[in-house]
Chain A
Amino acid sequence: MQKSLLFIFLILGSLSQSFAQGGKIVYNRKYNWINIATKLPYLSQEEKDRIKTYWGKEDEDNKGTNFLLTYNDSGSVYKEMEKVENLGYDWSDEEDIFIRDFDQKTTKDIRILLGKKYVIEDDIPRYKWKILNELKDIGGYVCMKAELKDTINDVVIQAWFTDKLPGSLGPEGFGGLPGTILALDFNDDDVNIIATKIEVIEDDKVELPFPKKIKGKPLKYAEYYAKKKKHILLSIEGKRNPYWEMRY
């Protein structure tokens, strides 16, 4: 009986959430460099096995990086959360920030590529999502699966989205689905992003945490992707992991 009540409550809860003004979602982004390295085309099977046996266990300590997606009716900001390093050392790099304006349907993303900082003011990219038949629960939300072919990294991106959070948005600037993306998987666990905390705010106006200054060389997404693609192709040709110096 109690379970049924909970069930009804959840359904009612998710219905009313449709009228929410905004929210905050914490995503954990895990970069699995062993998976990336062992898929490099120029390595022999022995070299791939060696990476797996030698470094595999090391990667278990990888706790990933937390990002916060803050959204309201007019836009969203996705950026790295502040953290405290356990050992008192911090070797982190500056992270990308994704800023969306839903009214203008534009981006004002801060993207760092090969050591250069760009501000990309462009139309919100349109993605050709393929809707699949699987369902999964993430943080109490039933999610549907969608898939996307990423021609820059030449990989498949899988997204889990829920129509119970109505915003057509998600981590890393992804969106365009009938609901919010709660998980993303690049190329079968090369990079894995999953929502760990979902907070829907109904009553108050959610303030977007815009960065204090948005400075960088202006660029369009077409040019950004061209630069990225060029680096990947040159690195693979030179037998070097392109993601050593570039965000996936």
Chain B
Amino acid sequence: MKNIFSLIVLLLLSLVTQAQRYEVKGTLQDTLGEPLIAATVMLMDMDSILLDYTQTDTKGAFIFKGIKEKNCLLKTSYLGYFPLTVAIQQPNDTKLDLGVLKMTEIAKELMEVVIKEARAPLRLKGDTVEYDASQFKVPEGSTLEALLRRLPGLEVSQEGDIQADGKGVTKLTVDGKTFFSDDPKFAIKNLPAEGVSKVQVFDKKDEEALLTGKSTPSDEKTMNVELKDEFKKGGFGKVTAGVGTENRKELKGNYNKFDSKNQLSLVGVANNTGRNGLSWNDRQDFMGSNNVDDNDDYDYGFANWRYYNQESSLESKIGNAFWSGNNDGFPRYVIGGINYNYDHKKNKVSGRYFFQNNGNDKDILTDSRTFLSEYFLDNHSTENQGKSSVSHKVETRYQYDFDSLLTAIATLDFSKANTSDNQQGQAEIFRDGDLLSSSTEFNNSSEIDGRLMNTSLLLRKKFKKAGRSIGVNGSYLKTDITDFQKRFSDNQFYNLSGILDSTLSIKQLNYDTLDKTVYKVNALMSEPLTKKWFFKVFYNLSSREENGDRYVKDQNEDNSLTLNNGLSRLYQNTITNHRIGSIISYAHKGINFSVGGARQLFDLNGHYASPDVTLFNGRVEKKYRVWLPNVSFGGAITRNTWLSAEYTVAVREPTIENLLPVVDYSNPLYIKEGNPDLLPTYNNYTSLWFNHSWPADAIRIYMSIGYSSSKNQIIQNQTVDENLVTRSKPINFDGGNEVWVTTGISFPIIRNKLKVRTSLYTTKNNSFSIVNDVLNETNSLKWWPNLYIEILPSDKVAIYANSNLSINNTEYNIHTSQNQNIITQNYNIDFNANFAKGWFWNSTLRYALYKNERFGIEQNVPIINLSVYKQILKGNKAEIRLSLYDALNKNISVNQSTSVSRVFSSTTFSLARYVMLSFSYNIKGMKSTVTKNDNYW
């Protein structure tokens, strides 16, 4: 009984479902009536969303059960056959038999191409055959006809008639549009093959075919030719011009044009405001894709300490011109550059030219205090500096990739620079604060002309075995510099009772020439020991040869000149470094560790002589050999924690100025003398860097610690005579160390609305000097706390507040009463708003406070800058801006520092209040937002 009841319920249930659902069946055959076995049959809804799928059985039959959709599509797939799509409508009863479905075979030639070519040059979209034109090679300058002859499945007769799949092509379109005439013959004889990206051949379609993709037989074919997608082609650029009060003007523009092979960029700047100069973005725009390869002249092996800033303006690369930013005084800039990159397949060529004409006029007040063994000296000077420089630079680079494993790069640079420098002013020196001991009026000038040629060649070879590689590079640099200097000064010396003791008038002309040749060779070989361990050997050679003459002439009363053999020098200097070393490293799963060592040989040769060799003639010949260890670690110790650590020893040879045995009288109160006996300086450097982030919460903390100690540090040995004339000579000294710690945290209080970043940098170091045979030790402790708050209440308002302090505590072991505490405080608030449609407001309040209690210095510099601007033209392509700079007219720049036995403070008078009206136009539209482009944590 129970069972019968269940049976009835089951029957009823199945009746209910049967009423809603239905089944579909059918059989697949080819055009000859043979069943297609194991073909895939898919059931899709009307949006082609897959609902179910199955395979045909040995008779080619298939069945889908339990379909509930009213309308469906059924699609079949079988290798070598065009897919078939059938529309299904819910039948009146529960079963729908589609009967026999016939699938059409794809032309064999086409199918072979599909199967053979990994990068399918041919695609089948429904009944459309699409050829990828780039995969079929035709000679340059060929027409479309020549290309079509190469396409499988197409036949082109002598007359230009096209047959596809045995059917005539009667219509040809280009990008879907008619090309002059519908006649395919005309188009295929006139279109260049080079511009074609795709060729498609299809039957004429009706509406049903467009919906379902089902092919309907037609006797005629249509051909569509798609031209190459010039997606990479484009250009952008902008120009800004402004005029202001105080005779201020600025002009800046850049333009870029690029396609897939070529990049051309221009940049130009002219201003006398020091603002709106070159930025990081301008550098990217100017260099284009060539930026990344900017510095090929790298040393192999473990990194050295590199002192980029020691490069003279002559040797500095063009790319460095984009981050010069010293705008105190009254600067003016004229800059122009053009860059061209060609990058196609194996060849990469780039060339650029850059012109700079910069100048600056400065009035500077300087106060300094120097501590000597028994007393101190205050120096008060006022000085006017005029500087101008003109330089031309050309850089070229060629890279050739022989194959994916072998690359050669050659570079050739030329540069020419002229710098003029004028300094005039006066200085008074007081003993113990109020006793005048000397006064000077000076007028110095220098005119430097330099030329440079620099060339390099690099070869990089990788091997099929991953991790094996060889690199070799060499470079040759030559510079010629002439420097003509005038050193005029009138000096008065006073005795301890304040009475004029003596006078000294110096009128000297210096003629310097310096020829420098540097060549370098570097080689590196890397070999994998296992999948995780690597072995590297490297060799570096660098040789610097300098030939210099310095002719010093004294100007007599009657303006005639006398060669000063005592000060004149002819010198020749060659410093050669060889370094050979090896590294064993481990690299696996984001952890990298390496241990290495190198042997370095220094070979120093020098010859110094006066034009009158009886007065001075000296030689230096020295060799040093040193061991250089290196240990480094870097890696993600957990997924969000990054740690790196390094121990390295860097050895630096003495500078040529310090090696020169030439007495420099340019300042008769501070006579400098070189020391040819100097040894290279060793720096032992240990560092640790730690970073941890919580990416889901946008929080980041970091810390870095470093320690360095020096051996053979070069310090000044000074003697001060009774006339307070200082003689200074560099010597080697063992000692001196520095420790620095940086910590910081960045976190949001309200995500994307209120963000805080705070950091503390602190450093402690000691340095030494010898004054009148007494060793002076200076200990300096610096604290730089920084707090930054970003407030973004809406899209229309942004407030940025920043405060940073610099607390610099200096203690002297001898002159403890002169211990200094220098405090600099900076506070900035930026307020930006988009207050009406297209209208923007920018304002900056800066407040700087300089304090040195011992010196009684307390200076406040408040600066307010305001600007309002309006976007104009269609697409916001332009903007008009009215700016008021330094509303309170208070701009000066202040510099404070301490060094061994010396405290220094200077004030430079700088461009202050002016109003400027400017207009900007950007081809791609101005990007005006209130927020800064700063999206790191």
Interface positions of A (Cβ within 8 A of B)? 3-4, 6-7, 10-11, 14-15, 18, 44-47, 49-50, 52-58, 82-94, 112, 114-117, 128-140, 142, 144, 146, 163-164, 176-179, 227, 231, 234, 237-241, 245-246
Contacts of B466 in A (CB 8 A): 83-86
CA distance A165 to B879 in the complex (A): 60
Segment of B37-45, B478-486, B511-519, B911-919 engaged in the interface with chain A: B37-45
CA distance A142 to B39 in the complex (A): 13
Cβ 8 A contact of B236, one of A49, A83, A92: A49
Interface membership of chain B positions 409-446, coded 1 if the CB is closer than 8 angstroms to chain A and 0 otherwise:
00000000000000000000000000000000000000
Contacts of B587 in A (CB 8 A): 85, 88-90
Cβ 8 A contact of A7, one of B77, B111, B281, B695: B111
CA distance A44 to B238 in the complex (A): 14
Interface positions of B (Cβ within 8 A of A)? 37-38, 40, 42, 44, 47-50, 53, 55, 75, 77, 79-80, 83, 85, 108, 111-112, 114-115, 117-118, 120, 123-126, 213, 232, 234, 236, 238, 256, 258, 263, 281, 284-285, 287-289, 291-292, 343, 348, 462, 466-467, 469, 526, 528, 531, 534, 536, 585, 587-592, 636, 639-640, 693-696, 698, 751-752, 922, 924-925, 927, 931, 933, 935-936
CB distance from B511 to the nearest CB of A (A): 46
Ranked 6 nearest A-B pairs via Cβ: A178-B53, A84-B466, A115-B640, A44-B927, A88-B534, A163-B40
CA distance A130 to B263 in the complex (A): 41
Contacts of B469 in A (CB 8 A): 86-87
Cβ 8 A contact of B751, one of A134, A238, A239: A238
Q: A131-B44, A137-B120, A231-B695 are in contact. List 14 more A-B contacts (CB 8 A).
A: A4-B108, A15-B37, A46-B238, A46-B924, A49-B236, A90-B592, A115-B640, A115-B694, A115-B696, A116-B696, A134-B126, A137-B117, A142-B115, A177-B50
Cβ 8 A contact of A114, one of B38, B79, B695: B695
**B124 contacts A135, C-beta separation under 8 Å:** yes
CA distance A246 to B698 in the complex (A): 12
| Given A90-B588, A90-B591, A134-B124, A163 and B77 contact (CB-CB distance below 8 Å) | yes
CA distance A94 to B469 in the complex (A): 26
Cβ 8 A contact of B126, one of A58, A90, A112, A133: A133
CA distance A29 to B319 in the complex (A): 35
Cβ 8 A contact of B258, one of A3, A44, A53: A53
Contacts of A47 in B (CB 8 A): 927
Contacts of B693 in A (CB 8 A): 115, 245
| Given A53-B263, A132-B48, A90 and B698 contact (CB-CB distance below 8 Å) | no
CA distance A14 to B387 in the complex (A): 80
Contacts of B53 in A (CB 8 A): 177-178
Contacts of A179 in B (CB 8 A): 40
CA distance A61 to B24 in the complex (A): 52
Chain A residue nearest to B588 in the complex (CB)? A90
Contacts of B592 in A (CB 8 A): 89-91
Chain B residue nearest to A14 in the complex (CB)? B79
Cβ 8 A contact of A234, one of B42, B115, B694, B752: B752
**B115 contacts A84, C-beta separation under 8 Å:** no
**B284 contacts A46, C-beta separation under 8 Å:** no
| Given A4-B108, A54-B291, A85 and B50 contact (CB-CB distance below 8 Å) | no
**B79 contacts A11, C-beta separation under 8 Å:** yes
| Given A82-B531, A94-B639, A129-B49, A139 and B118 contact (CB-CB distance below 8 Å) | yes
CA distance A1 to B291 in the complex (A): 54
Secondary structure call for the B interface: mixed
Q: Can you list 15 pairs linking A and B with CB atoms under 8 Å apart?
A: A49-B256, A88-B587, A90-B590, A93-B590, A130-B49, A131-B42, A131-B50, A131-B75, A135-B114, A137-B120, A138-B118, A138-B120, A142-B114, A177-B50, A238-B698
**B924 contacts A239, C-beta separation under 8 Å:** no
CB distance from A137 to the nearest CB of B (A): 5
**A164 contacts B112, C-beta separation under 8 Å:** no
Contacts of A146 in B (CB 8 A): 50
Chain A residue nearest to B287 in the complex (CB)? A54
CB distance from A176 to the nearest CB of B (A): 7
Cβ 8 A contact of B47, one of A14, A55, A130, A237: A130
Contacts of B348 in A (CB 8 A): 57
Chain A residue nearest to B50 in the complex (CB)? A129
CA distance A96 to B263 in the complex (A): 39
- Specify which of B289, B591, B925 lies most central, judged by the most chain A CB atoms within 10 Å of its CB: B289
| Given A46-B922, A131-B48, A146-B50, A117 and B77 contact (CB-CB distance below 8 Å) | no
CA distance A94 to B639 in the complex (A): 8
CB distance from A119 to the nearest CB of B (A): 15
| Given A15-B38, A129-B49, A227 and B696 contact (CB-CB distance below 8 Å) | yes
Cβ 8 A contact of A133, one of B213, B585, B639: B213
CA distance A15 to B528 in the complex (A): 43
**A91 contacts B467, C-beta separation under 8 Å:** no
**B289 contacts A58, C-beta separation under 8 Å:** yes
Contacts of A135 in B (CB 8 A): 83, 114, 123-125
**A137 contacts B118, C-beta separation under 8 Å:** yes
CB distance from B214 to the nearest CB of A (A): 10
CA distance A177 to B43 in the complex (A): 11
Chain B residue nearest to A57 in the complex (CB)? B289
CB distance from B60 to the nearest CB of A (A): 14
Contacts of B80 in A (CB 8 A): 7, 11
CB distance from A8 to the nearest CB of B (A): 10
CB distance from A30 to the nearest CB of B (A): 15
CA distance A53 to B289 in the complex (A): 6
**A239 contacts B696, C-beta separation under 8 Å:** no
CB distance from B351 to the nearest CB of A (A): 16
Contacts of A129 in B (CB 8 A): 49-50
Contacts of B120 in A (CB 8 A): 136-138
Chain B residue nearest to A245 in the complex (CB)? B695
Chain B residue nearest to A139 in the complex (CB)? B118
CB distance from A96 to the nearest CB of B (A): 12
Chain B residue nearest to A176 in the complex (CB)? B50
Contacts of B636 in A (CB 8 A): 93
CA distance A134 to B528 in the complex (A): 45
**A178 contacts B40, C-beta separation under 8 Å:** yes
CB distance from B433 to the nearest CB of A (A): 56
Chain A residue nearest to B343 in the complex (CB)? A57
Contacts of B236 in A (CB 8 A): 45-46, 49-50
Contacts of A134 in B (CB 8 A): 123-126
Cβ 8 A contact of A54, one of B50, B114, B289, B695: B289
CA distance A138 to B589 in the complex (A): 31
Cβ 8 A contact of A90, one of B49, B285, B589: B589
**A53 contacts B288, C-beta separation under 8 Å:** yes
Contacts of B588 in A (CB 8 A): 90
**B924 contacts A44, C-beta separation under 8 Å:** yes
**A46 contacts B925, C-beta separation under 8 Å:** yes
CA distance A116 to B359 in the complex (A): 55
| Given A57-B343, A142-B79, A163-B40, A10 and B115 contact (CB-CB distance below 8 Å) | yes
CA distance A141 to B731 in the complex (A): 76
CA distance A144 to B749 in the complex (A): 50
Contacts of A139 in B (CB 8 A): 118
CA distance A85 to B238 in the complex (A): 42
Contacts of B526 in A (CB 8 A): 87-88
CB distance from B255 to the nearest CB of A (A): 12
CB distance from B407 to the nearest CB of A (A): 11
Chain A residue nearest to B584 in the complex (CB)? A88
Contacts of A56 in B (CB 8 A): 232, 289
**B44 contacts A94, C-beta separation under 8 Å:** no
**B695 contacts A50, C-beta separation under 8 Å:** no
Cβ 8 A contact of B112, one of A7, A163, A227: A7
CA distance A83 to B589 in the complex (A): 9
**B284 contacts A54, C-beta separation under 8 Å:** yes
| Given A57-B343, A135-B114, A115 and B751 contact (CB-CB distance below 8 Å) | no
CA distance A133 to B85 in the complex (A): 9
Contacts of A92 in B (CB 8 A): 589-590
CA distance A137 to B925 in the complex (A): 43
